[in-house]
Structure 1
């Protein structure tokens, strides 16, 4: 793990060191602070995933709060940038004997260490607003999903108008301290050539989160970096 001091950018944008530092702070209290807020959205996404088959990659698995929800017929691999969050996820897997969770790996979502088309479903919940390079993350989600498989995002996307938009704009300069971007338009994730949008659904509470489902339509993408495969 990079041990250099976090870079505090004047515009509030993120870098991986700042994200690691933020989630090191959040790890001990993450479930208590955010678990209840994200519970309904998390359950909705995994209900859909549980109707599928094969291998699932959860990008940004965090403390593993979602892992007990996956059906036992699925093989689940999780990755996260934060070692402190992963340690909690590993304790959860051991305590609850989640045999279908086959690997929890420290990994950068913008440079996934898996071969192309390694997974049937790739899910990233509350991740793209955290990533320093969200477009690169989307390219990687596309790359590791098999043709015909699904990429599923659950995320907060910024409002265009109204009180929520004003709050998001006010918080935007503090993104590096928060560890996520309050301002994040949905258009940021909608331009991948190999991903066909198939559903957009507002999720509770009160539509604060959105689920986006994409089908991987196949074909090589010259823009996407090729990563070295790791065993998972």
Structure 2
């Protein structure tokens, strides 16, 4: 097992990135509150989407996997033994619990857990065969920038997957999501998040989009990284 289970602050050529500091701080504060109860509150309902995403990753070729928004590490025990997992998260509080889960479970396939901004990582181009972002797209300040960053760090021909809640197209659920959106900063995510905010039209057209239980509340989106450019 790698000893790279460390904390790291995202940096640019001139030091730490101040970009979206207010939004990033809001996310950190929200997940500092959620960290202690996250597994109990969200682990069950999000488990369906998490399992579907990891099963999809395990079925893909390539061993170098980036899990974006690894959180408390709920998905880590489910990866196949031949996958080499690097997890990143903006919340150090959540990562502490993920490191505890790795140590307790002896999860030798987890190579690194790093505190890092998913929109602007430290990884070289083409560092991974697969990137999977679970329940992250509606958290980051700039979802399209997240998508472009994953295209950069995944090799051409690799795969990018998202599992997330996306805005309903109508009905009572749409009204609830619009109402909840007013509390986005306290929640740490956007209940009214639309898939159009994440993927440009051409990539939405070629992506595989699958609803997952319960009741299609979450969606698994997967697509090949066509050329690794943005």
Q: 1:74 aligns with which of 53, 58, 83?
A: 83
Which residue is 1:47 aligned to?
A: 55
Which residue is 2:113 aligned to?
A: 104
1:161 shift after superposition: 1.1
Which residue is 1:15 aligned to?
A: 23
The answer as to whether partners of 2:66 and 2:131 remain within 8 angstroms in 1 is yes
Which residue is 1:229 aligned to?
A: none
What TM-score, normalized by structure 1, do the two folds share? 0.86
Which residue is 1:167 aligned to?
A: 176
Which residue is 1:145 aligned to?
A: 154
Distance 1:185 1:84, change over 3 A: same
The answer as to whether partners of 1:195 and 1:217 remain within 8 angstroms in 2 is no
The answer as to whether partners of 1:142 and 1:194 remain within 8 angstroms in 2 is no
d(CA) in 2 for partners of 1:172 and 1:91? 33
Distance 1:195 1:103, change over 3 A: farther
Segments of 4+ moved more than 3 angstroms? 192-198
1:187 shift after superposition: 1.1
Matched, 1:187 2:166: no
Aligned-residue RMSD, C-alpha? 1.8
What TM-score, normalized by structure 2, do the two folds share? 0.87
The answer as to whether partners of 1:195 and 1:215 remain within 8 angstroms in 2 is no
1:160 shift after superposition: 2.0
- Give 3-state SS (helix, strand or coil) of 1:122's partner: strand
Give deviations 1:8-48, integer Å, cap 9, x for gaps: xxxxxx71000000000000000000000011111111111
d(CA) in 1 for partners of 2:73 and 2:206? 27
Matched, 1:31 2:5: no
Aligned residue pairs total 210
Unaligned runs of 5+ in 2: 1-8, 10-21
